[in-house]
Amino acid sequence: MMQVRRNASWILGTLLTGCLLAANAAFPENAAPEPLSAFPQSLLAIKTGAGKVINFKIWTADTPQREQQGLMFIHEMDEHAGMLFMFPENQRVSMWMKNTYISLDLLFLNAQGKIDYIAASATPKSTAIIGPPTPEYAVLELKGGACERLGITVGDVVLHKNFKNH
């Protein structure tokens, strides 16, 4: 679905191009994707500023190969489903929608699970780079438009065992 890009301290132009090419090589066009049923699954909730709690069933991209695949190649997704990408520490993160056939909302989270940035309704199959202005600890992908439909905004908190809010 999405490709995870982690920006270190490099010159963006040449190295970003190399990074995109390397990611494509890591997931060949003719490779069969791993079924989502093989990804670890758990429950996650988002607590809005208004106090509303919204529950989701999520998959976790817990290996580099699963990070590369993400939600690529799926054609539909439940409103209360998603995928979580976790990082060992705050870092620059950028993603794209190559081989992702559905629109997604990308929620960029800090270590406490607070939503710092939302890229709403990302364009399917786009290779445009998507990322927040600050280093982040995790990314949660939801069905495109879910944030607007469910009233999820920047500042809301994701409740899950992987965040330091439990």
pLDDT in tens, the chain (166 residues): 444 444 433 233 323 333 333 344 445 566 789 999 999 999 999 999 999 999 999 999 999 999 999 999 999 999 999 999 999 999 999 999 999 999 999 999 999 999 999 999 999 999 999 999 999 999 999 999 999 999 999 999 999 999 987 6
**Count of CA atoms in the C-beta half-sphere (13 A) of 97:** 21
The pLDDT of residue 136:
97
The pLDDT of residue 133:
94
Residue 110 one-letter amino acid: N
The pLDDT of residue 164:
81
Phi-psi region of 160 (alpha: psi -120 to 50; beta: other; left: phi over 0): beta
The pLDDT of residue 51:
95
Hey, what are 87's tokens? Answer: 């990082």
The pLDDT of residue 16:
34
Q: Tell me how far apart the alpha carbons of residues 18 and 81 are, in angstroms, rounded to a whole number.
A: 32
For residues 141 and 117, the answer to whether their CB atoms sit within 8 Å is no
